[in-house]
Structure 1
Amino acid sequence: MIARLTGILAETTADHAVLDVAGVGYLVQASARTLAAIGPIGGQVMLFTEMQVREDAMILFGFGSAGERDWFRLLTSVQGVGGRVALAILSVLAPDELVRAIGSGDKAMVARANGVGPKLAMRIVNELKDKTGGLVIGPAGGGAPVAAGSAAADALSALANLGFRPADANAAVAAAEEELGAGATLDAMVRLALRKAAR
């Protein structure tokens, strides 16, 4: 299983990017939000990834943050939501907006995504309500992917690996980054984020 990729951004299109990792080009499907945030062609990029294996294909999906990847996993756990539909949802709704939409039962907000009709939107809201009902939305709410390879991205990954829920981790890291500034070290960011998440 490929958990993340770090390499040179070779190309981007409306729905995917190609990362050159040690001479191998990985085609990674991604949300419009992630593709807009990963930077210019030729730049160094780190993406969290999720691989789906089907009878006819192996598809790699890429994310600008561990929180976005966690939401992708949640969304694809709903019957009828495949990888492309999950990316369509993540393209139009940031994680904090998803928490709000699902928490308030707002199926119309979820149905804004391409390929999501009213029935599927209702199923998403109903099935994920229990899984996200206790999530806390922080000041930044994890609205946009953090810069690839940044201390914030690594801090998000660290909190996710410690078992924190996506919105909790996003809120804690956003609060820590706001307090420490963008130039903070990973160690300082993780320590402060852990203190904020424990409150």
Structure 2
Amino acid sequence: MGPISRRDVIRAAAIKDPLLSAILAFNVEILPDAISEIQKTSVPVFCSDIIYSILESYDQWQEEQKMRIEQERLEAVIRPGAVRLLPDCIFRQSKPAIVGVQVIGGVVRTQVNLMREDGANVGEIKGIQAHNENVGSATVGQEVAISIDGPTVGRQIHEGDILYVNIPEKHARIVELELKLKLAEDEREVLENFLEIKRKKDAFWGR
């Protein structure tokens, strides 16, 4: 087939399937311009004068890629979480509302929506502060301040309210079917309460 060229590397890098974007080189030279392009693109090259060695290395790489892709998919899933608004911890009523909360189950993160116990969406968490420092998430037991874009304290939300992370239906299906056994007890309890609320209006929600 001839030596591996820069053009070969560019073609491999353009392949959209991450499990196929690689070069298998059996007993051929890799040209200098190809080496330079490989360093830029990080396209994996499996090169040997033993064909079985190439195939074995490629198969192992594919398995590692599959595991990485699956891990990234699951890490992107919005997980169960619930907070209770603490008394006397209203720092701003609206635009955004800033309130003190206790995480009573699961995890809450920025850029997720919250809903009330009646199923009404109240708004998106824009920020979380713990000990006067911005953080990306808070877990069960923590008391933090959160800013919520959307509601007005005293109208849509009140002290003592329990708010749930409003998990999108597609994510909820993944959590229930693929992650439920891996959840901590507090996360499972929050998930069950959340699904019960959603399925009061639609028995097939998230199924």
Q: Give TM-score, length-normalised by structure 2.
A: 0.22
Counting strand residues as a fraction of each chain, which structure ranks higher?
2
Q: Give TM-score, length-normalised by structure 1.
A: 0.23
The higher radius of gyration belongs to 2
Counting helix residues as a fraction of each chain, which structure ranks higher?
1
